[in-house]
Structure 1
Amino acid sequence: MKKAGIYLLCLFLLQSKTTFSQEIQLPKPTQITGSIGITNNGLSIIPSFSLEKPATIVNMSVSKGRFSFDPELAFSLEAKPWYSLFWFRYNLSPNQSKFKMNVGTHLGLNFVTMPIPTTNDSIQIQKTDRYFVLEMFPRYQLSKHLTMGIYFLRSHGLDAGTLRTLNFVTLYADISQILLSKKVTLGITPQLYYLNIDGNDGYYLTSEISLSLQDFPIIFKSTMNKTFESKVEGSRPFLWNIKLVYPLKGVK
């Protein structure tokens, strides 16, 4: 009788250990990625806005689970800050789902150089405009090479003299991993978008083309932006740039 009791106890402990080990989930690692890019003409996250001079853009992403912190810093090649974005994002959809839904917010800082005329000389100061921004990005992966979705961004100026309300809506498509040869991969991201700033609106088409070479650390990118019709101040008929991007990857 004692042997039967000991046997049942051992069986219970073994089963409990197996069940307990299955329920334990290891903590997800913190993923750190990023990129450094240099371009002949800095284009903003809304490509109808341009720095109109060469720029360096640094992107970073620190993510754990469904949360991520994605800062983006842009400078002119004269080392003058252009803008700084500090994104906080959350992925609402499961990792394995073909449907993805991200929501995010950031405090954006836009740095504007303003001249101050004096009797003898013209002195320039740098003004910082603050913006509170919300975004929503639902999309669906139709195939290995094609993802389509809608991107929505809304911005509110926090300081006097800034843009009060900005709405940006784009129909988005991502055509990726197209093999041109064994060592060359093509990606195309066309977007048809609507922009409304304080009641003035416009319609635009933009597209980014990227080329990556196997065993080569630099990605070649080019963005083109065409204005169809616009009442937004500063919109130009056509903008384009070429950008060299060095990806940074790592897992902690």
Structure 2
Amino acid sequence: MSITNNGISIVPSFSLEKPATVFNMSIAKGRFSFDPELAFSLEAKPWYSLFWFRYNLSPKQSKFNMNVGTHLGLNFVNIPFPNAKDSIQIQKTDRYLVLEIFPRYKFSKHLTMGVYYLRSHGLDPATLNALNFVTLYTEISQIQLSKKATLGISPQLYYLNIDGNHGYYLTSEISLSLQNFPVIIKSTINKTFETKVEGSKPFLWNIKLVYPLKGGKIKP
């Protein structure tokens, strides 16, 4: 689970613009996994819910990996209550059907590169009809800063197209792990180069504290 000063979406050109907490979980058997992700503002109001079903097409221990996945995404939006005298808001739930494809190659324990593609289609009126998100993915991990500190960097150039409006961006996540310290410190930055996508900010950043919870096997 994690907490951040600014919730940044899975498409990092969008943010909640306020502090948020995110819960991630993964249940796997063989090549299949179920990966729910639940996000809330610190006011305990739901932000989004993702229910990923993923399948790994590659055999174990392979340097080349390719995941395919789909999810039903729920996005929660607060809108003013019609004809209300006070500033009353109601919560609207927008449903999205999403597909992802993620081929990547592990060159070494420090370097992985690939391409990530996500397509989203709105199921409700007044939602986004079609979203296409393509990113050139690089992961530089396990950089030993000292005996007790490890750094990871994931720079990505990406293209975003929403209902015919497109843009070009750069994003990167930086993570710092300290030995015998239970929390991982992460930061995401996002820079817009050129865009016609409504709602894109010129620059976004956040600081995130991640607390990994121990997993285990579920006995039959």
TM-score normalised to the size of structure 1?
0.85
Note the 1:205-220 alignment, pairs <5 A: 205-220=170-185
User: RMSD of the TM alignment (CA)?
Assistant: 0.7
Name the CA distance, whole Å, in 1 between partners of 2:109 and 2:122. 39
Give the Cα–Cα distance (whole angstroms) in 2 for the partners of residues 119 and 238 of structure 1: 35
Look up the match of 1:225.
Answer: 190
Q: Which runs of 5+ in 1 are unaligned?
A: 1-35
**Cα distance, 1:122 vs structure 2:** 2.3
* 2:151 matches 1:151: no
Alignment of 1:9-48 (within 5 A): 36-48=1-13
After TM superposition, list the pairs within 5 Å mapping 1:1-252 onto structure 2: 36-118=1-83, 120-252=85-217
Structure 1 residue 211: deviation in Å?
Answer: 0.1
Counterpart amino acid of residue 200 in structure 2: S
Separation of aligned partners in 2, 1:121 and 1:110: 25
**Residue identity in the other structure for 1:72:** E
Shift of 1:118: 3.3
Distance 1:163 1:175 in 2: 33
Shift of 1:193: 0.2
Q: CA deviation at 1:108?
A: 0.1
Q: Alignment length, in residue pairs?
A: 217
Output the TM-score relative to the length of structure 2: 0.97
The whole-number CA distance in structure 2 between the counterparts of 1:148 and 1:88 is: 23
Whole-Å separation in 1 of the counterparts to 2:199 and 2:211 = 31
* Mapped partners of 1:118, 1:172: distance in 2: 47
Higher helix share: 1
CA deviation after TM superposition for structure 1 residue 119, in Å:
5.4
**One-letter code aligned to 1:58:** F
Could you tell me how far apart the structure 2 residues matched to 1:58 and 1:75 are? 9
Separation in 1 of the partners of 2:86 and 2:147? 59
Bigger CA radius of gyration: 1
Q: Which 4+ runs in 1 deviate beyond 3 A? A: none
